[in-house]
A and B are shown apart, each in its own frame.
Chain A
Amino acid sequence: MHKVLLVIQREYLARVKKKSFLIATLLTPLIFPAILAVFVWIAVEEKENQSLRVIEVVDETGLFFMESSEQYAFSSSSKTLEEAKALVLEGERYGALYLPKMELSSPQGIQFYGIENPSTALISYLEAALKRKVEDLRLYAKGIDPAVLKQIRTQVKIQSLTLGDAGEEVISDATVNYALGFLAGILIYLFIFIYGNQIMQGVIEEKSTRIVEILVSSLRPFQLMMGKIVGIGAVGLTQFLIWVFLVGMLSTIVVGVLGMQMPQQQAMEMANPELMSATSESGDLGGLLYVIESIDFVSLIVSFIFYFLGGYLLYGALFAAVGAAVDAPSDAQQFMFPITIPLLVGYMGLFVFVLQDPSSSVSFWLSIVPLTSPIAMMGRISYGVPFWELALSMSLLVIGFLGTTWMASKVYRIGILMHGTKPTYRTLLKWIRTNH
């Protein structure tokens, strides 16, 4: 047993001591707050430095009065379209909006002229404004007073609540759950790939330099394989825990600093446009915080670590087997399909099914089958998963990694001593069946 510990120790220290580990570990968590900060900075700069854009309105109907906004001013001085175009070309106007004579029941022929391609934001702003104007005019024609109309306009916002087993109500927010599931799923996917590859590279290194021959004369191939997998897994876990610590600390600092510079809600909107719709009116930020507070982070982190380790062990064994079967990394490609395909299915499934509808039957199966569950289940957990499903998924994952480890150890013990022959799937199958 103590020999396995020696292998684990070597694998761990050999990686943690490297400069590249230190750099990756320290820089990666800086990237997220850095991106956040850059976005906020750009947004602030843009708002401050924005010059008012003047748009000439050529209104042949005489019905439209465009209200100017912070960003756009509209000038309606009954010029002809040609005059307006000339103003645009001279640079006097940012653009020209042409409203020809039209039937209000089916407005057509509206055009925008500009030197540069207008942003979709501007076009949709104009469209929304014109749409409302046309609707107002038509309602007015039917005898409804615009003042009454203004009174009638209402904002609707749905608050979603989930009912616990005991009937307790918890305010939930799909956006927050989405973000958490998204983040956790991607992290597991990346960790499996990055650290799985390290296992494979390590096995190939030992095989191609024949160190393995000396090692297996001293300890069992299985001990060697498990030592490598566990040692590298410990590196991943170390890195993850450092990240959690650093991201938490840095985010607190960044949010704190930004909070002094601009209203927090605005900062949130800049950082994540998706959040904008959810928190469009002031006062919702408190609600969002309440939702974040109501999520059970302890169970989220515990299950993250479980699925992280389970998924890593399951795929790690497969990566080790591939490494043992080939002579060089370039030969590994042909055996990577059985590893990449289920990982990709889990990854795509997370976006296409799980995050869209966490309780659909596709989501259920993706989060139960051990090959995809580490990624897919993380997408569901923040939404809340029935206990029995979680228990089933977790036990299947344990059975799954025991199975792949058993299979991999069979391939590994034969593969590491084979040189010069390129095995096929059939030879691998034969190795698995070999008894010793």
Chain B
Amino acid sequence: MMLEINKLNKSYGSHCALSELDLRVQEGEIFGLLGPNGAGKTTLIRIINQIIEQDSGEVLMDGLLLSGESIRKIGYLPEERGLYKKMSVWDQLIYFSRIKGLTALEAKQRVNHWLERFEIASWKGKKIEDLSKGMAQKIQFIATVIHQPRLLILDEPFSGFDPVNAALLKSEIINLKKEGTTILLSTHRMESVELLCDQVAMIHKSKKLLDGSIRDIKSRFRPAQIRVTLELGNMPLPNQWEVEFTEENRVSLLLPLQGQSPNQLLRELMSFGEILAFQELFPSMEEIFIQQINSSVDA
């Protein structure tokens, strides 16, 4: 177990940022931490990074409580980013790797390795203020992973990245996962992580609403909705069926399952004509999320 979080509480004055939060992050997976702004994601991340302390509860990494030793194992890309503007790329990367605990020699090797990996070795002597925003983002990412962290924490990783760099970042995330890095990814933009994450947890107003694998969550919230395309026969359709559109004698229908199995529905449909398409509709994570928030507000 890479990360185990038990009954974590944190409040700022009267404002509760995290309450009784439990999380499990397995080694080698990409874990999505989802929730709207102000849900408590950044607070949780800051606690894991030992920037702030929890009021109660515990955070275990590799089964051990967080300590100074954990710093080297974690790489952290905060939501808002910045580098020393007047410092050169080389000095900056060396500084961040040394701060993370690498020796001078290790630091040099790692920086060279990454500059070559991104084919930007010629930027070494440039100051950050002379780089474009996209270039600076690459440096920022290198600074985050330079010490080969086993746990990579990315807070809203795609915000602020242009599409080219966002794609690069995505492929680097997948590469790092292949190399065995565990990745904790926090975002309020669900669509960006749906394809990336193995596991997710949704946080809202300091509490965990649900967690599990994406497939798991989706099937738990499997909708009672099927999209069917029919070539109509002679039987008129029941009035309560919702017709999406009609094209000559083809109709597309959105049908709730209403306790039936798909096969039962299929059988029923066959009597109305020729079935051209039959598709179960999964809700997007965003829809599940909004639905969950609304039901938690109602409750």
Contacts and interface: CB of A to CB of B under 8 A. Distances in A.
Contact of A6 (B83, B95, B144): B95
Contacts of B76: 213-214, 217
A229 B49 CA distance: 24
A6 B100 CA distance: 11
Contact of A217 (B49, B80, B82, B98): B49
A3 B68 CA distance: 12
Chain B CB within 10 A, most for which of A14, A211, A436: A211
A49 interface: no
Given A14-B87, A217-B76, A417-B51, A210 B81 contact: yes
Given A14-B87, A219-B99, A211 B82 contact: yes
Given A3-B99, A417-B51, A417-B52, A209 B83 contact: yes
A22 to B, nearest CB: 15
B28 to A, nearest CB: 22
A12 to B, nearest CB: 12
Interface string B78-119: 101111111100000001101111000000000000000000
A209 B85 contact: yes
Interface size class of B (residues with CB under 8 A): 20 to 34
Given A6-B98, A6-B99, A217 B83 contact: no
A10 interface: yes
B238 to A, nearest CB: 56
A407 interface: no
A214 B46 CA distance: 10
A275 interface: no
B53 A213 contact: no
A130 interface: no
Given A14-B84, A14-B87, A417-B46, A214 B78 contact: yes
A218 interface: yes
A214 B52 contact: no
B74 interface: yes
Contacts of B99: 3, 6-7, 215, 218-219
A219 B96 CA distance: 11
A24 B100 CA distance: 34
B143 interface: yes
Given A3-B99, A10-B95, A417-B52, A217 B74 contact: yes
A129 interface: no
B98 A436 contact: no
A176 interface: no
A436 B81 CA distance: 27
29 contacts: A6-B98, A6-B99, A10-B95, A14-B87, A205-B85, A209-B81, A209-B82, A209-B84, A209-B85, A210-B82, A211-B82, A211-B83, A211-B84, A213-B51, A213-B80, A214-B78, A214-B143, A214-B144, A215-B99, A216-B51, A217-B50, A217-B51, A217-B71, A217-B74, A218-B99, A218-B100, A218-B101, A219-B99, A436-B53
Given A214-B144, A218-B101, 15 more contacts: A6-B99, A14-B84, A14-B86, A209-B81, A209-B82, A210-B82, A211-B82, A213-B80, A214-B76, A214-B78, A214-B96, A214-B143, A216-B51, A217-B71, A417-B52
